[in-house]
Amino acid sequence: MGTPNRLRQPGGPHRVVVVGGGFGGLQAVLKLRRLPVEVTLVDRRNFHLFQPLTYQVATGALSPGEIAYPLRAIFKRDRNVSVLMAEVDDFDLEAHELHLRPAAGVPTPSKIPYDTLLVSGGSRYSYFGHDEWSDHAAEVKSLESALTVRNRLLTAFEAAEWESDPDRRAAWLTFVVVGAGPTGVEMAGQIGELARDTLRADFRRIDPRKARILLVEVADRVLTTFPSSLSVKAKRSLEKLGVTVLTQRTVVGVDAEGVAIDDGGGEPDRIPSRTVIWAAGVTASGLATRLAELTGAESDRAGRVTVESDLTLPGHPEVFALGDMVRVRNAEGSPTVLPGVAPVAMQQGRYAAKVVGDRLRSRRTSPFRYRDKGNLATIGRGAAVADIKGFKLSGHIAWITWLVVHLWYLVGFQNRLLVLIRWTSSFVTHGRGARLITEPGAEDPGPVLRNPRPSSDA
């Protein structure tokens, strides 16, 4: 394994710049803070987002502040860690500089130097060449998009309550989730619970339990990364919540009025719907494409850049890339795509920090090896599936396992406590306390009296 020429700085500590405050970047900094290095964490947001629970924000089960934690608060006691709110504009690999641009209007330096660079840019959902669909099919990968979905879901029920035309009312009460991976399954299950449990007595003109929820998947079963026996159980649990699972179907059109679904048998079916949620396919961050261009590294159709077995880029041992945006060369030299889940990024972040520490001590580090701890997915109240070290769990025991794991990995004791209280309350009362329709940027003028009565001294 090569060692960067600028590993040690005679005039100061080794400078490590980490791009991305997600799971990979966060774990890297948590390990690096214990080393004699100067760390700068760069992110366009000022918080770490617990992405596996964004769908619960989208369905009103949790509030945004319960799954997000300020980055500065995490590292407030670590004097060797600085947080910089900015977006990456470009890389100058020869000069060892990261070029930046402002994020959210916050002034930022135009560039910062580094001795070691860790890039964890993540991924986003792919609309398979139809980015225009994103205007009508929102995803739940970010906090902002989760709030958009929450607004659309709750607005649909409000609109249906006062819609007199049966066809238009049916369109408002039809919800389409595209993609039956863990996020899609969890999202569809939560909408089912929202309609058939939480909202069942809230309206006077409609019965929310009659809402139509469709889960569309191009494969022949849901949760394709799970054993087929668990896929069958997950589908059964979804159907109990009123979800219709449509497998071996392809979405070929999305607009403001609905979706077109092709089953391969002729003309696509047109499904009127005012609420479409996208959870199908991912594409790597644009940072991966740029790093591939600068280093000559291979990349795949999803934009993932290929890194060496130690997560570094070819010819640049001082630059690490990790998480959803990379493929890793295995012992035979072939690129391997690891699951796009949080444990992969977390393990890679810790590994990259270990490599930095080993280099400072002039030690060698064995190649990265992912330790698969299993898969978890929740479908609804008391229903989940889990594949852990060969043990296939379902029902309540899988659901409790899912709860414990997610509480354990949440950042911040306060967030863990709040989420535990919120989940306990929801389980007992069948309620959801964050069912709010909000408009970003809108100001509340307070109560307004439209036709005030003239005062007696007018």
Catalytic residues: 186
- Counted residue by residue, the chain has a size of 458
Q: What is the distance between the alpha carbons of residues 286 and 308, in angstroms, rounded to a whole number?
A: 19
Rg for the chain, CA atoms, rounded:
24
Other CB atoms within a 10 A radius of the CB of residue 134 amount to 15
Provide the 3-class DSSP secondary structure of residue 56.
helix
Whether 186 and 281 have beta carbons less than 8 Å apart is answered as: no
Please say whether the beta carbons of 247 and 270 come within 8 A: no
**The pair of three-digit structure tokens given for residue 432, joined into one six-digit string:** 């959801």
**DSSP of 68-95:** EEEHHHHTTT-TTEEEEEEEEEEEETTT
Tokens for 150? Answer: 């929450």
Which three-class secondary structure state does DSSP give residue 245?
strand
- How many other CB atoms are there within 10 angstroms of residue 330's CB atom? 13
Q: Would you call 180 helix, strand, or coil by DSSP?
A: coil
Tokens representing residue 134 in the block: 């994103």
Q: Quick check: helix, strand or coil at residue 60?
A: coil
Asked whether the CA dihedral 90, 91, 95, 98 is positive or negative, the reply is positive
Measured CA distances, 231 to 92, 223, 226 (Å): 46, 6, 7
